[in-house]
Amino acid sequence: MDLLYSLIDFVLHIDQHLVEIVNEYRTWTYLILFLIIFIETGIVVMPFLPGDSLLFAAGMLAAQPNELNVWVVILLLLVAAIAGDSLNYSIGKRFGMQVTKFKLFGKQIIKDEQIAKTHSFYEKYGSKTIVIARFVPIVRTLAPFVGGIGRMKYGTFLTYNVVGALLWVVGITLAGYFLGNIPLIRDNFSKVVLIIIVVSIMPIIFEVIKEKLKKEA
């Protein structure tokens, strides 16, 4: 339970934690950011790591003098996001559903219903799911994995992987860079993160409601 609370605190106050990381690790911060995004997108059992909020916070911090360089951040996290999805695709293609049985503290990390929802995304959006999923927590981590299981052609996957990474990393990081210094946003960062999370999971909520209405009809 302590781990869960620590994770929630890290996500909601990632701007403060990122400042602490920069102060302590300086240039190594770039590697830390790279690894978080790479693991969040590349390891199917790690969908709980911060993604959107980390990009936004990194952009905010890069807007401060003598802190992170925004273009180095964008370049490194682009590579991390593309490489992460490619690894996840390979894991799905090589090992399939057996990976989802992995347990942490006796609990299965990836739920069957999460896989089912990701499948429904593929049924609705096809290969474009790889792009759309970039902006949806959990589905972002599961989409390339399910693509690998489904044996999507790697050339097709890579195209959408790169396009999705560009839109996600560049878009959210620059949003943090240009909007992060607005007092209303800077002083209410945890609320901004919650808004980002809610907006991101709206497609999942919409799909759940639609499926429920279908069953009741």
- At residue 117, the pLDDT reads 73
Amino acid, res. 37: I
pLDDT digits (tens, 9 = 90+) for 7-35: 566 656 677 778 888 888 889 999 999 99
Looking at residues 193-206, what average pLDDT do you find?
73
pLDDT-derived band at 177, boundaries 50, 70, 90 = very high
Cα separation of the two ends of the chain? 40
Tally of domains within the chain: 1
Q: Would you put residue 85 in left (φ > 0), alpha (ψ -120 to 50) or beta? A: alpha
Write the burial class of residue 149 (CB in 10 Å: 0-12 exposed, 13-18 middle, 19+ buried): buried
Please determine, for residue 3, whether its predicted confidence score (pLDDT) is greater than 60. no
- To the nearest 10 degrees (0 to 180), the angle between helices 189-216 and 52-62 is 160
pLDDT digits (tens, 9 = 90+) for 43-62: 887 877 878 889 998 998 89
| Mean pLDDT over each residue of the chain, to the nearest integer | 82
Residues in the chain: 217
- At residue 66, the pLDDT reads 78
Which two structure tokens, joined as six digits, stand for 13? Answer: 């106050």
Domain containing residue 19: 2-216
CB 38 within 8 A of CB 83: yes
Rounded distance between C-alpha atoms, residue 191 and residue 21, angstroms: 22
Higher pLDDT, 107 or 148: 148
